[in-house]
Structure 1
Amino acid sequence: MTWNVWWRFGGNWRERATGIKITLETYQPDVIGLVETWAGNGTTQPDELARILGLHAAFAPTSLPPAPDPIEHPDQAGVTVGLGLLSRWPILRTRVHELPHPQRGGEPPTALVATLDHPRGELHVIVTCREWEPHHAADRLAQSEALAELIMDPALDGPLPVLLVGDLNAPPDEPELAPLREVTVDTWEAGGGDPGVTTLDSLLPYAPLEATTLIDRRIDHVLVRPGRPGVAVTVRGAFIAGDRPIDGHYPSDHYAIGADLDP
């Protein structure tokens, strides 16, 4: 499962946190990648959720999206934007992989690469967020190529599939996403998901309507490749979560997306 949980944007992150927690309690994912998650005040959102849900957590900073400067609300001061991972199984190791960004410049966007202690062997998961701005098409392509190389690294080969999850800021048919799609299985398509589904819904009260190339499209993805050549990946189904208000608040400006896989 993956979910862009909208950092501390909107001035209502505390109220939205309840909906995030309840949604994860309801779906009980084995693995979830979090995008636009936060770290601050000696803790992280993944760590707080892991403590409540009985999971394991990891966090890595990233530059996409950049934190607002100046801050919009006092609760944003000194808080880092990042990528997170929650896992039912212990996290054996993590590393941060920087992504190319020659057009945008500044601090790099990243991918969080984690290895989990799955009962059937090491499970490798990559959590990331890719460039979104239309005039940074070269960055989007370079990041897709880098992520394709990363997920296909033979060092990640093993008995289990390799997962890449996150907000890729691209509908499935975006040309710059092609290098990554060519080497992975889109679990939404393989799981029989509705091709017209959206994870960035213009009907949400805080929808980013300025993202005209992304709004009302499926831009969050769970991609997978077999752990070894010649081995098939079985996707039993795919689902959307977080698409209803809880206690009067939608949990995020994105819906979560997930898949049920046979290992």
Structure 2
Amino acid sequence: MTWNVWGRFGDRWLRRQRAIAETVRAQRPDFVALQETWHTWRQSQTELLGFELGMSPVFAPSRMPRDPDPDVRLGLGILSRFPLREVQQHRLSADTIALRAEIRLGEKSLHFVTSCLDWEEDHEAERRAQAGCLADLVRELRSNGDEVVVAGDFNTPPDRSELEPLLAVLDDCWQPRSAGRRHLDDGATYSSRNPYLGGRGEWLEDHRIDYILVNGGRPAQRSRLVGFDEDRGRPPSDHYAVVSDVRVS
């Protein structure tokens, strides 16, 4: 599962946080990748969710939109139902990282990686370079037969070129659905139907910009969007979450 949880933006972030926890609980994921998850010197959203859901939490700061509260830092989080063998940060650019959590699978490992690439429309070169660094990391991790899942907010639609380096080494779990109920099945994770969307006419509006990518040859059995109306009829974030069922060795 991957979800950009929109920090503490908006005027009802405490309610949204409860709805986020309930949404994740209902999906019962083995791993959750979080972007724009908040952290202060006293507490962390990732740790609070981990405690409530019975999952191991890790957090790392990375380049994100700035929270209005100077004491709040936004970054990346991972929740895992399995004990973590190793956690590491990998630098993709000056202030953007990928966060990696490793678990053992017999004699090999599974690496669950999350990141959030630059969101500005004119940062195509930066996103492509960051995707290239992620691709290099995937090649390194897979060199001894380990499994790799990369999940996150990549801030670009799948028909643009920025993700080409990463999609050359991993497969996109999302598969188009039937024409019925298009707004639920077309994969648009940043949707104009979401009342929290930052403003109409944004360049990413009504596109799929959140992804789960897996090793070639092991496609997801199914993928879906969640997080539509759990906050008293509203979505808990300005992004919808992506959930994929992935088969690994």
Corresponding residue for 1:196? 186
TM-score (normalizing by structure 2): 0.90
Give the C-alpha shift of residue 246 in structure 1.
2.5
1:197 partner amino acid:
G
Give the C-alpha shift of residue 193 in structure 1.
4.5
Corresponding residue for 2:202? 212
Residues 1:178 and 2:150 are matched in the alignment: no
Corresponding residue for 2:246? 261
1:196 partner amino acid:
D
Alignment match of 1:238 (pick from 223, 232, 235): 223
Give the C-alpha shift of residue 211 in structure 1.
6.5
1:101-137 Cα offsets, whole Å, 9 max, x none, are: 5xxxxxx111101112456742101110001212122
Structure 1 unpaired stretches of 5+: 102-107, 227-231
Equivalents in 2 of 1:119, 1:17: separation in Å?
Answer: 36
2:210 partner amino acid:
D
Moved over 6 A (4+): none
Give the C-alpha shift of residue 162 in structure 1.
0.4
Corresponding residue for 1:221? 211
Residues 1:100 and 2:93 are matched in the alignment: yes
SS at match of 1:14: helix
2:74 partner amino acid:
V
Structure 2 unpaired stretches of 5+: 179-184
1:115 partner amino acid:
E
Equivalents in 2 of 1:12, 1:100: separation in Å?
Answer: 33
Corresponding residue for 1:105? none
Corresponding residue for 2:52? 52
Greater Cα offset, 240-249 or 162-171: 240-249
1:86 partner amino acid:
L
Equivalents in 2 of 1:39, 1:243: separation in Å?
Answer: 24
Corresponding residue for 1:104? none
1:218 partner amino acid:
R
TM-score (normalizing by structure 1): 0.85
Residues 1-263 of structure 1 correspond to what in structure 2 (within 5 A)? 1-65=1-65, 67-68=66-67, 71=68, 76-100=69-93, 108-118=95-105, 121-154=108-141, 157-159=144-146, 161-189=147-175, 193=177, 196-209=186-199, 212-226=202-216, 232-263=217-248
Give the C-alpha shift of residue 100 in structure 1.
2.1
Equivalents in 2 of 1:155, 1:37: separation in Å?
Answer: 28
1:40 partner amino acid:
T
SS at match of 1:135: coil
Q: What percent of counterpart residues are identical?
A: 36
1:140 partner amino acid:
R
**Alpha carbons of structure 1 residues 149 and 236: separation in structure 2 relative to 1, 3 Å:** same
SS at match of 1:188: coil
- Aligned alpha-carbon RMSD (Å): 1.9
Equivalents in 2 of 1:123, 1:35: separation in Å?
Answer: 20
